[in-house]
Amino acid sequence: MSVSGVALILFLTFHACMNVVALFSAEGYNMICEMLGANWYAVAATLALAALVAVHFIYAIILTLQNRKARGASRYAVSDKPAKVEWAAQNMFVLGVIVILGMLLHLYNFWYNMMFAEMANGGYAYVNDLSAHDGYGMIAYTFSNPVYSVLYLVWLVALWFHLTHGFWSAFQTLGWSGKIWFNRVKTIGYVYATVLILMFAVVVLKFALCGGACCTGICG
Amino acid sequence: MAKNISFTIKYWKQNGPKDAGHFEQREMHNIPDDTSFLEMLDILNEELINEGKEPFTFDHDCREGICGMCSLYINGTPHGKTATGATTCQLYMRKFNDGDVITVEPWRSAAFPVIKDCMVDRSAFDKIQAAGGYVTVRTGQPQDANAILIPKQDADEAMDCATCIGCGACVAACKNGSAMLYVSSKVSQFALLPQGRPEAAKRAKAMVAKMDELGFGNCTNTRACEAVCPKNETIANIARLNREFLKAKLAD
């Protein structure tokens, strides 16, 4: 869980950095989309990523089943959660399922209309007559629908909770923690997760609120 | 000044590991609040015996907070809620109020089957300890006491880890039924000392393997264990165990 989790955090970092380009330049963003189109290295990386998510998720299912078995059949009638136990820490699996569902929606919204469309639909997205390389257009199109905007924001909140625990938990599992490092790693994790999620959320919000184009005057 | 309180106690009755178990309830009247929790249960049992009923079974031994024999999940917290960490025998009725409902349950974990009522079988801990929680001593001439110098800080840290009394509160509180806080404390008390280093790799692997074999769950770092530990063991021990275990595995 820890190793695959850290790898996924690194991927999210790359993805967030890529996304913020869309705030400043449509051409720049589409240039990245073209580079990451259906080229062999992008397809290979996508498959590797899918394998990474699968490892993280399948391992989580196995561990959760083992843990439920270890807990036993009888449940406490009264349970008092200690203050230092975080809500996210006890609900990582549920949060993970929400993240996976959000990811499936995201793949349908973007990957299916971009990389998949490039390979299967002659370079055109399945919606709105967009080119499969017009990532900027896809963002504007997707978040013009408020339902998607809200779903993406809910998804990002779930991901934030998942990361706030996952970050320090990975370090703890790998043994890089102790009485002093615990607080350091935890603080770094909270800051990192917050910055990362804000980077994603600001793109959603900008396109949801003003469709990207109208903002050029305000945002420069 | 001690005062007397009256309250309702709901206690768990179960005839062996296969029985479904149920709660029984009783009103307790005029119990002095300087009574310890276990003394209160003694009073309960006196009353039950006088009425010809079967007494309530629970674990206890030294009643000084050092042996790790007492257990009991009191109002949703192992050993009951105390500010500084204490075992059930060090919990006093002054922590409760007049009119309270006090719910007493056993440790609920697959690796700790119920023997009777709130007495559970914690011999799984002994088996983990026997798998590697020791230092092999080849008897011969007694060693000079100061032959191996140990920094005070290391000695203190090892002693803190060794204060784990193996009561099982960590397993009882963990949503995964994981014994990692116990095992990590027992591994740490040796790993921190030079005498423990020669067998450190073997010990970490053997104790973790035994823990898994006995059906304890996996650690997901929720910190419920350290929140309830009567001896204030911390999850820094778990990080140390993870380090020891990974180091041992990588060296294979």
Predicted-complex ipTM score: 0.91
pLDDT tens profile B74-120: 999 999 998 888 999 999 999 999 999 999 999 999 999 999 999 99
Residue B103's nearest CA partner among B75, B62, B126 is B75
Q: What share of chain A is helix, strand, coil (3-state, %, to 5)?
A: 75, 0, 25
- CATH pick for B122-140+149-251 out of 1.10.1060.10, 1.10.3720.10, 3.30.980.10, 3.30.420.40: 1.10.1060.10
Classify residue B227 as left (phi > 0), alpha (psi -120 to 50) or beta: alpha
Contact assignment for B240 to A179 by CB distance below 8 Å? no
Cβ of A85 and B178 within 8 Å? Answer: no
Fold observed for domain A2-69+87-219 = 3 helical TM bundles of succinate and fumarate reductases (1.20.1300)
Task: Convert the pLDDT of each residue in A133-172 to its tens digit.
Answer: 889 999 999 999 999 999 999 999 999 999 999 999 999 9
**Looking at residues A189-206, what average pLDDT do you find?**
97
What do you get for the CA distance between the two ends of chain B, in Å?
Answer: 63
Window 164-223 of B: residues touching A by CB (8 A cutoff) are: 173, 175-178, 215-223
Nearest to B59 by CA among B80, B76, B38: B38
In chain B, domain spans: 4-105, 122-140+149-251
pLDDT of residue B165: 96
Of A71, A174, A178, the CB nearest to B236: A178
Domain coordinates of chain A in residue numbers?
2-69+87-219
Q: Is B13 on the interface with A (CB under 8 A)?
A: no
Hey, of A1, A59, A65, A81, which one would you mutate to test binding to chain B, going by the most B CBs within 10 A of its CB?
A81
Chain A positions in Cβ-Cβ contact with residue B110 (cut-off 8 Å): 69-73
Report the share of chain B in percent with pLDDT over 90.
91
Rounded Cα distance, A188 and A21, in Å = 24
Q: What pLDDT is stored for residue B225 in this prediction?
A: 97
CA-nearest residue to A68 within chain B is B176
Give the minimum alpha-carbon distance from A177 to chain B in angstroms, rounded to a whole number. Answer: 6
Does the beta carbon of A138 lie under 8 angstroms from any beta carbon of chain B? no
User: How confident is the model over B1-40, as pLDDT tens digits?
Assistant: 789 999 999 999 999 999 999 999 999 999 999 999 999 9
Answer CATH for B4-105 from 3.40.50.1370, 3.10.20.30, 2.40.110.10, 1.10.260.40:
3.10.20.30
Q: CA nearest B230: which of B89, B36, B76?
A: B89
How many residues belong to chain B?
252
- pLDDT at residue B85, as a whole number: 86
| Residues in chain A closer than 8 A to B204 (CB atoms) | none
Q: How do residues B163-216 score in pLDDT, each as one tens digit?
A: 999 999 999 999 999 999 999 999 999 999 999 999 999 999 999 999 999 999
Residues of chain A positioned with their CB less than 8 A from the CB of B176? 67, 70-71
CB atoms within 10 A of CB B27: 8
